[in-house]
Structure 1
Amino acid sequence: MKLDLLLRNADIITMDGRRPHATSLGIWQGRIVGLDEDVDGLEAAEVLDLAGATVTPGFIDAHCHTTWFGLSLGELDVSAARGLNQLYALLEAGIAADRSAGQETGPAPGPAGGWLLATGFSQQQHGGEFPDITVLDRITGDRPLFMRHNSGHMAVVNTAALRLANAEQASFPDPDGGVIVRDAGGRPTGLVQETAQQLIQQLILPYSSEAIEEALDRATGHYAAEGITSFTEAGIGGGWIGHSPEELAAYQRAASAGRLHARAQLMPVLDVLHPLGGQHPPDAPRAGLDLGITSGFGDDFLSLGPAKVFLDGSLLGETAAVSQDYCSHGHTDNTGNTGYFQAEPEELRGKIEAVYAAGWSIAAHAIGDRAVDLAIEIITSCAAKYGPRVVPNRIEHASMTRPEQLQRLAAAGIAVTPQASFFADGGDGMTASLGPERLGWAYRAASFLTAGVTLAGSSDRPVADGNVLRGMQAFVDRRTASGAVFGNPDERLSPVQALAAYTTGAAAATGTAHLKGSLSPGKLADFTVLSGSPLSAVSIADLNVLATAVGGTFTFQAPGTHSRAAGDSALATPSITTATNRS
């Protein structure tokens, strides 16, 4: 047989316990044929001599927001501002630039119609302060503003946006699961939390299919430069996290046109699943997508994952449902705030059970420990009644978990996706909100593994830094912006455990361990080439991605890193270039 591609002279970390290390790897028709002696003597159409560079399984980001990230690359980025004056200056400059380009400055329909769309805001970058709506109104005038918070769980808007939504008056009621934050006189402050964002977003949405396809092209091209070969899009189709009711179709078109540069698993939000007809027992209402499509539908490149449901909010916004009051500015005095659920628990339970009964797996966004309780209870009840699922049930983030919840998660087979990428930007703020007594419950890692819980590496990008190498480093050192170790130091992972989170762990959590996550014969030929080994590097974050391949086809190659036809001399050591990273 003649291989399509042969990697040789490499430091291959397979993440397969049966053969943890190799120096050569053969690929044919997008799959791994064998390693070392398996491929000795076989010819190959192309040979890549890696001159000792390290090869790992392709990185998997098990929870991110790719359409949002791709769109944000074309929006006004305010993440560099430090202090509200700098923020205001960036907004003014953005408006001035639009005027120079001839962009309309008044309200108009559609995602670009006169709106000022900004991304990257966090009060943590401004001493805990939020913008003054009076100043925002002076800067923007009649042009509506939507500036999404880094967490995605709140946004800053101006009076023009509130007026378009008819939500400017003090008498306007808060929607279920959301808050229009107001001052003592009932005047909106410009901050809209959780589902209240939809009041504004419904004026902007839906994005066109072409806009989404362009966003996916931009975003996944960025992923390829960072070694990412697969990702899970955590919410499409509706709610405040989706961008179009045709988002799946946009993904399909992007894939067909070669504009999707990594494998995608998509989570439809619970909002878009609807009651199904058919001869079902009256005591078992079912909800899903037409034709009975459920989790797992699709192919190796594009498929449907669990249904995404939001149970609570965020820690930074202090809207996550916790069992003890948040601390005020790091002190232990009670604030009377324990966050809130996105809907009444019984309502959430009924909707989730209807979806589970139809065959869907569940991915429950649960950040506070009170929300984790609810998620475990609902998922275990559904599994007992309707059976297990091939695509695992998950708790997204699982940010606050009490000790007794660990074994309950393991016994239920529920995977978790805590984001180490939150430590750098949000760790100090979360430390202040949580206080010392329960800080050890926050963003566990090692204790999940010890308890036997499947741990998936993920970023929540663009909420946080999506660079996998920096994410691995964060799992290892847990450092915040101040240099402190976030939470319990015993939660730090070893380098091999950190690599496993983004490979074998993420594959298991997405129900694809039989296809990827390790470099084993028969599996998909998804791999990442690095300038050094993450298992021995002084700093994993300082390694460079030299190449990325999906199904044996390169989606990214740094300059100087290329294959040659069989028979040519070996390559020189690949040049090392740092992939640009926006987040």
Structure 2
Amino acid sequence: MKLDLLLRNADIITMDDRRPHATSLGIWQGRIVGLDNELDGLDAAQVMDLDGATVTPGFIDAHCHTTWFGLGLGEVDVSAARGLDELYAMLETDMATVGTTDAEKPAGQDTKWLMATGFSQQNHDGQFPDIVALDRITGERPLFMRHNSGHMAVVNTAALRLAGALSPSFPDPDGGVIVRDSNGRPTGLVQETAQELVQQLILPYSIADIEDALDRATRLYASEGITSFTEAGVGGGWIGHSPSELAAYQRAAANGRLHARAQVMPVLDVLHALNGHGSDSSAAAPKGLDLGISTGFGNDYLSLGPTKVFLDGSLLGETAAVSHEFCSHGQKDNTGNVGYFQAEPAQLRERIEAAYAAGWSIAAHAIGDRAIDLAIDIIADCQATYGPRTVPNRIEHASMTRPDQLARLATADIAVTPQASFFREGGDGMRTSLGHDRLPWAYRAASFLEAGVTLAGSSDRPVADGNVLRGMQAFVDRRTDSGAVFGNPDERLTPRQALDIYTTGAAATTGTMNIKGSLTPGKLADFTVLSASPLDAPDIGALEVLATAVGGGFTYQATAAEFQHAALTRRSSSGGHRLMVTTEDGLPVR
């Protein structure tokens, strides 16, 4: 037997308790075949001497929005603006380029929209743009500027006019709000499902546009050590970009433009009644995709995950369904504001049960503790009636979790995906909204693990920073922009726990622990090479990703100079050896 790739002289953190550490790893036909002495006497087509660099299982982002992120890479990014004057200047600059590019116009659309991404009032002293100022800048060109939470957007009068939503008598849609001033005039802010009134004028994006977005996004993922991710909502609703979004994923994978393994969640909105045989389901109206496809369909590279359903809104937008009203702050009076559900609870239960009965696992977006109660109740009842699922049921975010809910989550075997990446930019604002008494409930981590709840590392990108190494550091220190520790300091994770949730924890949550998450013989050869170990680095976020491999094939490699710099840095303190990367012919490999 001749190996395809042999890694030598490495600090290999396997995340397998039976053999936690190794220095050599062998790969054949995309799988790990052995470690250390198990490789004695075997030749390899490619040998890499890593000179003490650290190898970990490939990082898994269990909740992100890859199409949205990839499209945003081609839009006006206003996230760096501080103060509304800077934001207005960015929009004015883009308006000055109108006519020089069609980048803002989705293929097949006649109207050239001004598309912007990354807005947060937190960067502007809590202020939202003035629609009068936006109209002055944009004129009759419609604007859609997505809030970084994804749960609201800022639009101009031209966009509202196209949507037919200017009139004071225009009704708010179920689960959404067109924010208006005291005279009934729209302010330009549209929350939750009200975004769809404008988005439907832009959508759908073409398969080609989405494929391009996936290529852009996952190339960046590879450079950050990400080998797998879960796309949290495609195909419909305000989070989807086309009814053919899965086809774009298939085309990207076939064309070599999907640079990480993908698990894709269709939103519950796109499931529909299937008129199969009467004995096929005990539910009165089984829901699914055509041909009866459901959770688990696909292969090791691209598969369907749970169906995604929104129960409530966001903490940043103060639309999450909470049991105690948000705190008033500044000029904002939150008296009586406990957020809201995206639909009536009875309706949400009916739709979720129908999907579950048809074979779907459930990923319930539930941020407020009232929404988490509803999610646990529905999922636990579904499991009792129809049995457990191979791909776990999940609660996305689980941002405000009361102490009494921890045991219920563990008993129901429901996984959770909170994001530490929110702490840095949004933590101080959330502390103000939540108040001192409830802050310990927010974005738990250690207490989930202590209660026996499966915890997955994730980013919610582009809502927050998607860099996994910085995400790990955020779980370890929980620091906000001001330097304060967000929430309960006891919720901080150890570096080992932080690495675990982005590898084995995320694999367990996505139902792929049998093939991913640890560097164990027989599993997929997905790994990340780091400049040093995250287990003892003073700042995990400062580590460099030197290489990323999916199935033993490199999706990213740093330059030879970057490899050498990392080796020199290690040698300065540990006296390692020179990096040597060769083929079977002894030639250097980049």
Helix, strand or coil: the match of 1:431? helix
TM-superposed deviation, 1:277: 1.0
Query: Which structure 2 residue ranges, 5 or more long, are not aligned?
Result: 564-579
Q: Could you say which residue in structure 2 is the equivalent of 1:146?
A: 144
CA contact (8 A) 1:330 1:433 kept: no
Q: Could you say which residue in structure 1 is the equivalent of 2:271?
A: 273
Structure 1, residues 19-47: CA drift from partner, whole Å, max 9, x if none?
Answer: 00000000000000000001111000000
TM-superposed deviation, 1:72: 0.2
Helix, strand or coil: the match of 1:350? helix
Q: Distance in 2 between matches of 1:283 and 1:553?
A: 44
CA contact (8 A) 1:10 1:51 kept: yes
Q: Could you say which residue in structure 2 is the equivalent of 1:92?
A: 92
Q: Distance in 1 between matches of 2:535 and 2:274?
A: 49
Residues 570/24 of structure 1: CA separation in 2 closer, same or farther (3 Å cut)? farther
Q: Distance in 2 between matches of 1:255 and 1:103?
A: 26
Structure 1, residues 479-531: CA drift from partner, whole Å, max 9, x if none?
Answer: 00100000000000000000001000000000000000000000000000000
Q: Distance in 2 between matches of 1:272 and 1:383?
A: 22
Q: Could you say which residue in structure 2 is the equivalent of 1:565?
A: 583
- Name the TM-score, length of structure 1 as normaliser: 0.96
Structure 1, residues 342-369: CA drift from partner, whole Å, max 9, x if none?
Answer: 0000000000000000000000000000
Q: Could you say which residue in structure 2 is the equivalent of 1:244?
A: 242
Q: Distance in 2 between matches of 1:330 and 1:548?
A: 46
Q: Distance in 1 between matches of 2:26 and 2:480?
A: 41
1:312 aligns with 2:312: yes
Q: Distance in 1 between matches of 2:365 and 2:262?
A: 19
Residues 155/110 of structure 1: CA separation in 2 closer, same or farther (3 Å cut)? farther
CA contact (8 A) 1:331 1:432 kept: no
Q: AA paired with 1:176?
A: D
Structure 1, residues 215-250: CA drift from partner, whole Å, max 9, x if none?
Answer: 000000000000000000000000000000000011
CA contact (8 A) 2:75 2:103 kept: no
State how 1:537-552 maps to structure 2 within 5 Å: 537-552=537-552
TM-superposed deviation, 1:279: 2.6
Q: Could you say which residue in structure 1 is the equivalent of 2:25?
A: 25
Residues 499/111 of structure 1: CA separation in 2 closer, same or farther (3 Å cut)? farther
TM-superposed deviation, 1:48: 0.5
Q: Distance in 2 between matches of 1:157 and 1:191?
A: 6
TM-superposed deviation, 1:292: 1.1
CA contact (8 A) 1:64 1:231 kept: yes
Q: Could you say which residue in structure 2 is the equivalent of 1:533?
A: 533
Q: Could you say which residue in structure 1 is the equivalent of 2:436?
A: 436
- The total of aligned residue pairs comes to 570
State how 1:279-290 maps to structure 2 within 5 Å: 279-280=277-278, 284-290=284-290
Q: Distance in 2 between matches of 1:104 and 1:405?
A: 46
CA contact (8 A) 2:74 2:103 kept: no
Q: Could you say which residue in structure 2 is the equivalent of 1:465?
A: 465
Q: Identity percentage over the alignment?
A: 76
Q: Could you say which residue in structure 2 is the equivalent of 1:361?
A: 361
Q: AA paired with 1:234?
A: A
Q: AA paired with 1:516?
A: K
Q: Could you say which residue in structure 2 is the equivalent of 1:227?
A: 225
Helix, strand or coil: the match of 1:98? coil
Helix, strand or coil: the match of 1:322? coil
1:130 aligns with 2:128: yes
Q: Distance in 2 between matches of 1:494 and 1:404?
A: 24
Structure 1, residues 259-301: CA drift from partner, whole Å, max 9, x if none?
Answer: 0000000000000000111233675321011111110000000
Residues 19/108 of structure 1: CA separation in 2 closer, same or farther (3 Å cut)? closer
Query: Which structure 1 residue ranges, 5 or more long, are not aligned?
Result: 575-583
Helix, strand or coil: the match of 1:396? strand
Q: Could you say which residue in structure 2 is the equivalent of 1:177?
A: 175
TM-superposed deviation, 1:412: 0.5
Q: AA paired with 2:115?
A: L
State how 1:55-94 maps to structure 2 within 5 Å: 55-94=55-94
Q: Could you say which residue in structure 1 is the equivalent of 2:291?
A: 291
TM-superposed deviation, 1:436: 0.3
Q: Could you say which residue in structure 2 is the equivalent of 1:189?
A: 187
Q: Could you say which residue in structure 2 is the equivalent of 1:578?
A: none
Residues 26/108 of structure 1: CA separation in 2 closer, same or farther (3 Å cut)? closer
Structure 1, residues 163-214: CA drift from partner, whole Å, max 9, x if none?
Answer: 0000011000000000000000000000000000000000000000000000
Structure 1 range deviating more: 557-566 or 13-22: 557-566
Q: Could you say which residue in structure 2 is the equivalent of 1:208?
A: 206
Structure 1, residues 526-557: CA drift from partner, whole Å, max 9, x if none?
Answer: 00000000001011010000000000000000
Q: Could you say which residue in structure 2 is the equivalent of 1:411?
A: 411
Q: AA paired with 1:122?
A: S
Q: Distance in 2 between matches of 1:463 and 1:37?
A: 45
Residues 136/527 of structure 1: CA separation in 2 closer, same or farther (3 Å cut)? same
Q: Distance in 1 between matches of 2:193 and 2:240?
A: 12
Residues 13/192 of structure 1: CA separation in 2 closer, same or farther (3 Å cut)? same
TM-superposed deviation, 1:332: 12
Structure 1, residues 438-488: CA drift from partner, whole Å, max 9, x if none?
Answer: 000000000000000000000000000000000000000000010000000
Q: Could you say which residue in structure 2 is the equivalent of 1:519?
A: 519
TM-superposed deviation, 1:563: 4.0
- Name the TM-score, length of structure 2 as normaliser: 0.94
Q: Distance in 1 between matches of 2:353 and 2:502?
A: 30
Q: Could you say which residue in structure 2 is the equivalent of 1:480?
A: 480
